[in-house]
């Protein structure tokens, strides 16, 4: 009974990590799209002025998503069906989500606030994109937090 519960939590952790990586990628793309749509709508503005702001907001999401993808792929290559992920994969997921979360929160909030202060009109495409970013940002942070909690609660399989 215990091994079944542990294997389910290991599978759940991998599935949560996949959804976390996807949502983080969507949040980074949505933030970048907000600034690109703003530049497209405003004649005379150039994208070079917004690249640092976009990078501060998007890079933490993309780095964390990339590291999660690396950990997921390494877990998939070392685990046969019905087996638990190795302990190093679980500890990698703990470290990645734990260290990535504060940077995603700070960078995402700062860059999202900067986009909101641009004075985007409600009916514009950039205004719709920033509204959508609010939800993708919160979803990515929430799922990353849930993944961190599940990773901390998942016990590693005993080594044979």
Better-predicted residue by pLDDT, 14 or 30: 30
118 DSSP 8-state letter: T
Average pLDDT over residues 60-78: 87
- The CATH class for the domain spanning 2-153 reads mainly alpha
Residue 17 neighbours by CB under 8 Å, 6+ apart: 68, 71, 72, 93, 147
Mean pLDDT of 50-64: 94
| pTM of the full structure | 0.86
Q: Please measure the distance between the N-terminal and C-terminal CA atoms of the chain and give it in whole angstroms.
A: 19
Helix, strand, or coil (residue 47): helix
Q: What is the mean pLDDT of residues 114-135?
A: 89
Distance set, CA 124 to CA 38, 119, 137, 156 (Å)? 9, 11, 20, 49
Query: Is residue 23 over pLDDT 90?
Result: yes
- Distance (Å, whole) CA 126 – CA 128: 5
pLDDT in tens, 88-110: 888 899 999 999 999 999 999 99
Report pLDDT for 12: 83
Question: Which of 3-7, 24-28, 41-45, 59-63 shows the lowest per-residue confidence on average (mean pLDDT)?
Answer: 3-7
Torsion, Cα 102 104 109 112, to 10 degrees, reads: 170
Tokens of 92: 């990698």
Mean pLDDT across the chain: 86
């Amino acid at each position: 009974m215990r091994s079944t519960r542990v294997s389910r939590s290991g599978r759940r952790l991998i599935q949560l990590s996949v959804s976390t990586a996807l949502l983080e990628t969507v949040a980074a793309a949505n933030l970048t799209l907000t600034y690109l749509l703003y530049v497209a709508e405003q004649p005379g503005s150039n994208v070079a002025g917004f690249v640092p702001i976009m990078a501060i907001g998007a890079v933490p999401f993309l780095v964390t998503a990339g590291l999660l993808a690396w950990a997921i792929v390494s877990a998939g290559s070392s685990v046969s069906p019905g087996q638990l992920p190795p302990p190093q994969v679980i500890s990698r997921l703990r470290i990645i989500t734990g260290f990535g979360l504060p940077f995603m929160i700070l960078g995402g909030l700062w860059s999202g606030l900067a986009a909101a202060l641009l004075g985007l009109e409600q009916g514009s495409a950039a205004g719709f994109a920033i509204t959508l970013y609010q939800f993708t940002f919160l979803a990515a942070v929430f799922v990353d937090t849930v993944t961190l909690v599940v990773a901390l609660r998942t016990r590693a399989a005993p080594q044979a």
